[in-house]
């Protein structure tokens, strides 16, 4: 028996996402950041860790018909609801890939400060985000897969 139960649509979406990311991994990082840049190595390590965690999630998961869209971890394609620990305000972020054409204000690149802080976190985890507007502490309230 597998450890994680996901809806058939979510599991299929994650499998397709993993295949796409693995095929284009070097292109994705290179398109986002110059090879000679100091951050290139850091982003490459983070991206490889993301692929490893995503592969483990897919391998540990089984389809369960009727299962809601909840996800155990934050990945590209998830809608994440967080609570600002300081003022208790609730925000939602749609985590998208670095080359995704933003369609609305809640689309957040996985390479942005918010996206990088949230990636691979679970419900209940707290993250510290150092963004141009200041430092924010968020607690993850919910994670739903909606696709990119």
Q: What is the CATH number of the domain that holds 89?
A: 3.10.50.30
Lowest mean pLDDT among 29-33, 78-82, 83-87, 142-146: 29-33
Per-residue pLDDT, averaged over 29-34, amounts to 66
Last residue of a domain, one of 63, 86, 102: 63
Find how far residue 5's CA is from the centre of its chain: 18
- Domain span including residue 95: 78-145
Measuring CA to CA, which residue among 91, 124, 99, 9 is closest to residue 47? 99
Residues 43 and 95 in one domain: no
Band (pLDDT 50/70/90 cuts) for residue 4 is confident
pLDDT surpassing 60 at residue 139: yes
Token pair of 1 as six digits: 């028996």
Looking at residue 33, what is its pLDDT? 64
Report yes or no on 103 lying in a domain. yes
Phi, psi of 97 (to 5 degrees): -70, 165
Report yes or no on 70 lying in a domain. no
CB 131 within 8 A of CB 116: no
Q: Which 3 state secondary structure label does DSSP give 127?
A: strand
Lowest mean pLDDT among 45-54, 59-68, 139-148: 59-68
Residues 82 and 138 in one domain: yes
The strand ranges marked E within 16-101 are: 61-63, 78-84, 90-96
pLDDT surpassing 90 at residue 145: no
Mean pLDDT of the chain: 85
* Whole-model pTM over 0.75: yes
Report yes or no on 89 lying in a domain. yes
Residues 19 and 58 in one domain: yes
Number of domains observed in the structure of the chain: 2
């Amino acid at each position: 028996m597998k450890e994680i139960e996901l809806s058939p649509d979510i599991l299929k979406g994650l499998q397709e996402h993993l295949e796409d990311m693995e095929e284009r991994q070097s292109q994705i990082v290179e398109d986002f950041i110059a090879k000679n840049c100091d951050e290139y190595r850091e982003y490459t390590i983070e991206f490889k860790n993301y692929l490893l965690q995503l592969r483990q999630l897919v391998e540990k998961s089984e389809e369960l018909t009727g299962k809601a869209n909840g996800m155990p971890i934050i990945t590209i394609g998830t809608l994440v609801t967080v609570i600002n620990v300081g003022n208790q305000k609730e925000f939602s972020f749609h985590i998208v890939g670095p080359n995704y054409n933003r369609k609305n204000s809640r689309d957040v690149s996985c390479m942005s400060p918010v996206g990088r802080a949230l990636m691979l976190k679970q419900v209940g985890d707290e993250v510290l985000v150092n963004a141009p507007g200041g430092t924010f502490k968020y607690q993850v309230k919910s994670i739903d897969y909606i696709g990119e």
